Amino acid sequence: MGKRLRPLTNDRPKPMIEICNLPIIEWQINWLQKFGISEVLILVGHLKEKIIAHLGDGMKFGLNIRYIEEVKPLGTGGALKNAKNMILANGDNTFFVINGDILTDINPLKLMEVGEHVIALVPLRSTFGIVETEQNMVSQFVEKPTISNKWINAGVYYFSKDLFRYLPDIGNIEFTALPILVKEHKLMAFKYTESYWRSIDSHKDVDEANDELPFSMN
């Protein structure tokens, strides 16, 4: 529902917030199409009609878009479980999962080379400027640096159909299925070091993405 982004989300779902005059979800559709992904299933709920009206069947973007509706909020894990039959309808045994509030240019196909259950990671970017010192002297200020030895969940996944054994009826995948996969040594990771990535969670993110995107993504 994007409560932290109100009033931008008063009349639209979070993925329809515009960055450089395009909704987040349209940036995502263009990104996926660039990597040859031709089948997209969108899990919709809150103000779903706004997304459906804008994207339609995907023909104008060069791919096929279908929709699964949540009558009530199910969480990220429950929403995936609710979509199981449609996800597997074409006989595919593997699929990508993308959070609806991220902007990125990473190559998702690289996840396919790693394993059956793979999470994309990106470097942690400090939300603060860093002050570096030599003994008691300030040597330099570094504005919001990337912390190269710490990694965060990029909200991009590659899964096999085995995932559905771990999904809850209601609940978030991050707190249910993923920890179980970790415990069973089934969750792998791929680190993207040079790619653009941003999650849109606040008005500051919107402002910064509007400044960054023209120079970061084609």
The CA-to-CA distance between both ends of the chain, in Å, stands at 28
Output the pTM of the full model: 0.87
- Is 85:92 a contact under the CB 8 Å cutoff? no
Q: What is the pLDDT of residue 46?
A: 85
What whole-number distance in Å separates Cα of residue 110 and Cα of residue 156?
11
Confidence of residue 205 (pLDDT cuts 50, 70, 90): confident
Average pLDDT over every residue of 192-212: 86
What whole-number distance in Å separates Cα of residue 26 and Cα of residue 56?
11
Beta bridge partners of 133: 138
Asked whether the predicted pLDDT for residue 125 surpasses 60, the reply is yes
Choice between 46 and 107, residue whose per-residue pLDDT is larger:
107
How much is the mean pLDDT over the chain?
A: 89
What whole-number distance in Å separates Cα of residue 151 and Cα of residue 137?
30
Per-residue pLDDT reduced to its tens digit, 3-53: 787 887 788 899 998 999 899 999 999 999 999 999 999 999 888 899 999
Going from the N-terminus, what domains does the chain have, and what CATH number goes with each?
A: 10-216 (3.90.550.10)
Average pLDDT over every residue of 82-98: 90
